[in-house]
Structure 1
Amino acid sequence: MDIQKHYSDFSEANLRASYIEDVLDRNRHIHNFISILFNIEKGGVIAIDGEWGSGKTYFVHQVKWLLDYASGNIDSEIESVLSRTLPKLHNIKGHKYKVFYYDAWRYDKSNNPFFTLLRSLILTFGGIDFFKEEKSISDSLFSAIANIIDGVSSIRLQSLFNFGRAFCGFNAKEQLPAIEFIEQMDGQVHSFLDYACEGQYDKLIIFIDELDRCKPSFAIELLEIIKHYFNHDKVVFVLSTNLSEFQYCVKQYYGESFNGWKYLDRIIDLRITLPQISLEAYHKYLWKKTGLDKIDNISIACADYFELNLRECERYNQHINIAFGRYIREKSINNEISDELDSLYAIFIPILLALKLYSVDKFKEFISGRDYEVIKGLLSVDRFRKNVSFFILSANEDLAENREALLVKKLEYCYNQLFILTLMYYIRKIK
């Protein structure tokens, strides 16, 4: 099991399955977005705006996968989804788009985004062949391109300028006015983009992801490079970021008095707000493989109650699977574990794991025996109450008229035994 905090499965098999089943109820939004791309006549910059943990990265991977898939042979299962999801994308085969995904945060350690973006594009589209064939480009340019592909560490502004000189065919001794440098640099990048888009392709779609996680200098310089050097009629940049938060990144770079929102408005041509995924659908998707229905429902109730976002839910689900997988393995080895302990584990482990993600302070209060109010709050959630009853009430108690009162009383008793009396016992023992 992968325990990375921000791990998501972007494999082709998973993207295909989630699209066919529409487990996240996102297909209509995917189709809407692709329809927008089809109607863009020239290049530009689109922003997909969404809160942290709202599923932006998964969304752009699904869009990329579908556009890539459309370039090949679409099978009957995909054809069926295309035809029944509105808007229908029956004409998707008629659009040939090259699609490129750039994880900005992955390259954040670099001092210059120009190198990392161009190098990634060259590696993806085989642009080194283009530069080999260009007779007008000097050997120094080819050497510079080769250095980019090999990877460059500790990039500084001077190295960019030196690279730019070679990129434009000037040797190290020639004097190059700044304005001519910019014009020549722009022309060479433009020629490369012509090469990348040539032939059967209508557009090159470049997804720039995780901008709001980058250091301000890298993120802002990347935006300005996109606008100044990669502005091309056949290139559409798609930024997935939280614009409300990203404006503060702009302020950090240019100063608190700078209007970050207006700055972004000058860079971005079209803003699209990504609708929230149905949490109910996402919970079913995450917990469908565990096979522990009652525990799953208690966990889902906790995720709802503590308002965990999509990314937190993913981590929470991983923690639940690890905790119960380990418990089940230990139980198979140690036959002394009782049914009563099973019940307490099933009820309190989901609460503790959710609390840890929600608030460390609340978690500490709870385990110190000072926050039974959390239990009272969870009991107001129908799904929690019904499934906890299975573990804590006997068959007779479950049918009793005072069933609700018994449930509250027994849960309070369990909480006191676990988190108050046990704590007091250990304090006395230490003393």
Structure 2
Amino acid sequence: MNFYWAKDTTYLDTRLDADQLDRAKYAEFLTNYLESFSGSSQVFNLNAEWGAGKTYFLKRWCQSISDVHPATYIDAWRNDFSDDPLLTVVGEILKTLEKYPNTKVEKNRATALRTTGRFLKQATPALIKGVVRTYSGFDTDGFKLEDFDDFSEKLMSAALSDHSKKSKDLEDFKKVIKAWLKEATASGRSQLPMFIFIDELDRCRPTYAIELLEMVKHLFDIPGLVFVIATNTEQLQHSIKAVYGQDFDANRYLKRFFNRGFTLKKPRLSDYIRSRRSFYAVASGFHTALMRTGDGAICMQTEDDISDSLGSIAEFFQFDLRTTEQWLTQLYASFLEEKNKNKYFWLCLAVMSAIKLHDENSYQQLFHKSYQHKWNDKPGLEVVRSTYSDLQVAAGDSLKKIEFSVTPKHLGSQEFDNGTEFDGTLEYKCEVSVLAFIIQLVSFFDERQSFNKHSSIAEQAADVYRRNEVDTWARKSFCVNLAMDYFESQIGTKKINYCSLVELASDLE
């Protein structure tokens, strides 16, 4: 087995990037654990939130063990157009076992199909007609129950007989799969157990998801079969409650189906950002474009500084991995055009795009004048605080820092509020909270605000952090404002360009 995931690969026509989140070790650990159940059947739940990389993990895991274990990957969501999950699971299992030439393929396949045919939902109407015709002696066409007093007795007898046949077929099906697995592993080229990976179950129709779990538990409790079912378990519980009612104990219900469970840990978002191909797209120069914006006046020292700052923003807004990927893709599109790389301050675009993804209504209120009457004349700072108060608490101070350097060479000499002269030829490192930066961004877009750019912002930032380091914050805030002054001077009154870029990833003016 090959758990070296440091290189890109392709599996099932899907490009899988190199593993930047060090998750191969989890697949190796779980494989070793599940191999111990080769003599029994297991249904294992891999739990992770939406966008946490379950599909990548399952496909890479399946590929890694397929040279030693019979293994197959099933996308349940792509197949829930069918009313019967049995068709999907049986089809994939047979397709995998047929790859082993030392097995009695035709005989095993015919037996498996014959014995499972009775369990297909599509076959039920025809079976009922056949049962009635066989055991009652009457044709069902034009049949009326009131014509036959003894019909109920005969139908019950027929149903019991059919149930007996189903039980025998079920045992025959399990025997043929067990024998087929034994044949497939007899040569030593592969070994038990066989792994069946089922993905995206939580995205399926609730009834389909429940039927698949029931079917796996009752039809496939075959020694040598291990099912790994990936779900957002919390979301799956909501789906179950949609069928059985909100008071239904969905958590206890799921424990009936899963023997074991494992939660795929969510990575730090800065690490996730570093792992994305869009971030390191060499052709576009995306990551290098972000290192210097505003004609070089605003810069980041390293690529890790950029990913850490982006990660701080994403953590502040409590993005999951999928939302983070959408956000990165939009930023990537924004900097495809060469003219945008110096014209726009990437940090403003990043924060504005994040606000829009987080809450469209808040974005409209903060940056579009036609919506600002909804503020009810409240100061912009209060609007920002009321909008993001919960986020402010949840994110935590350690997760909402942005660091960058400012070289305001175009602005000449300036003074701090304490009278100290600032030499515009030097580079100053700036650290600011996400919330404080949002406050400044709003003050730039809203002409009604009367924020004193060189003192009150520092006091507000100090209040946000509950610190008394006003002078320290003044210096940091001063650097931020020089950066804001610079991009304001570059674009003049065309502030709406930022909105155009955020909304369409295109500079329309």
Residue 84 of structure 2 corresponds to residue 112 of structure 1: yes
Superposition pairs for residues 354-393 of structure 1, below 5 Å? Answer: 354-368=354-368, 373=384, 384-386=402-404, 389=406
Asked whether the 8 Å contact 2:52–2:321 carries over to 1, the reply is: yes
Which position in structure 1 is the counterpart of 2:450?
A: none
Structure 1 residue 101: deviation in Å? 0.9
Match of 1:268 among 258, 265, 283: 258
Structure 1 residue 18: deviation in Å? 2.4
Which amino acid is the alignment partner of residue 55 of structure 1? G
Distance 1:239 1:253 in 2: 20
RMSD of Structure 2 on Structure 1 (CA): 4.4
Structure 1 residue 115: deviation in Å? 1.6
Structure 1 residue 204: deviation in Å? 0.9
Structure 1 residue 14: deviation in Å? 8.9
Match of 2:171 among 187, 200, 203: 187
Distance 1:163 1:127 in 2: 33
Provide the TM-score with structure 2 as the length reference.
0.59
Structure 1 ranges of 4+ moved more than 4 A: 12-17, 127-131, 134-138, 160-166, 170-176, 369-374, 376-383, 390-395, 399-403, 410-423
Q: Deviations over 1:264-310 (max 9, x none)?
A: 11111111122222323222112233342527615444323323222
Which position in structure 1 is the counterpart of 2:10?
A: 11
Match of 1:227 among 217, 239, 242: 217
Which position in structure 2 is the counterpart of 1:50?
A: 48
Asked whether the 8 Å contact 2:407–2:425 carries over to 1, the reply is: no
Which amino acid is the alignment partner of residue 11 of structure 1? T
Asked whether the 8 Å contact 1:305–1:381 carries over to 2, the reply is: yes
* Structure 1: runs of 5 or more not aligned: 1-8, 72-95, 146-154, 332-336, 424-431
Q: Deviations over 1:127-183 (max 9, x none)?
A: 999674269959x949x98xxxxxxxxx983435658999xxx99957663422431
Distance 1:299 1:135 in 2: 53
Asked whether the 8 Å contact 1:48–1:273 carries over to 2, the reply is: yes
Which position in structure 2 is the counterpart of 1:79?
A: none
Structure 1 residue 54: deviation in Å? 2.0
Distance 2:71 2:497 in 1: 60
Asked whether the 8 Å contact 1:203–1:235 carries over to 2, the reply is: yes
| Structure of higher CA gyration radius | 2
SS at match of 1:205: strand
Distance 2:54 2:245 in 1: 28
Distance 2:17 2:355 in 1: 32
Which position in structure 2 is the counterpart of 1:242?
A: 232
**Structure 1 residues 135 and 194: CA distance shift in structure 2, 3 A:** closer
SS at match of 1:386: strand
Structure 1 residue 422: deviation in Å? 10
Residue 322 of structure 2 corresponds to residue 322 of structure 1: no
**Structure 1 residues 269 and 381: CA distance shift in structure 2, 3 A:** closer
Asked whether the 8 Å contact 1:43–1:232 carries over to 2, the reply is: yes
Higher relative contact order, structure no. (Cα contacts within 8 Å, ≥ 6 residues apart) = 1
Structure 1 residue 367: deviation in Å? 2.2
**Structure 1 residues 180 and 277: CA distance shift in structure 2, 3 A:** same
Query: How many pairs does the alignment contain?
Result: 360
Q: Which has the higher helix share?
A: 1
Superposition pairs for residues 208-357 of structure 1, below 5 Å? Answer: 208-286=198-276, 287-289=279-281, 290-292=286-288, 293-294=290-291, 297=306, 299-325=310-336, 327-328=337-338, 331=339, 342-357=342-357
Residue 380 of structure 2 corresponds to residue 406 of structure 1: no
Distance 1:390 1:303 in 2: 26
Distance 1:181 1:106 in 2: 32
Distance 1:165 1:123 in 2: 32
Distance 2:260 2:498 in 1: 58
Distance 2:241 2:70 in 1: 34
* Structure 2: runs of 5 or more not aligned: 1-7, 136-157, 186-190, 293-302, 373-379, 412-423, 430-471, 500-509
SS at match of 1:277: coil
Asked whether the 8 Å contact 2:316–2:399 carries over to 1, the reply is: yes
Distance 1:393 1:386 in 2: 18
Asked whether the 8 Å contact 2:192–2:224 carries over to 1, the reply is: yes
Asked whether the 8 Å contact 2:193–2:225 carries over to 1, the reply is: yes
**Structure 1 residues 272 and 392: CA distance shift in structure 2, 3 A:** farther
SS at match of 2:425: helix
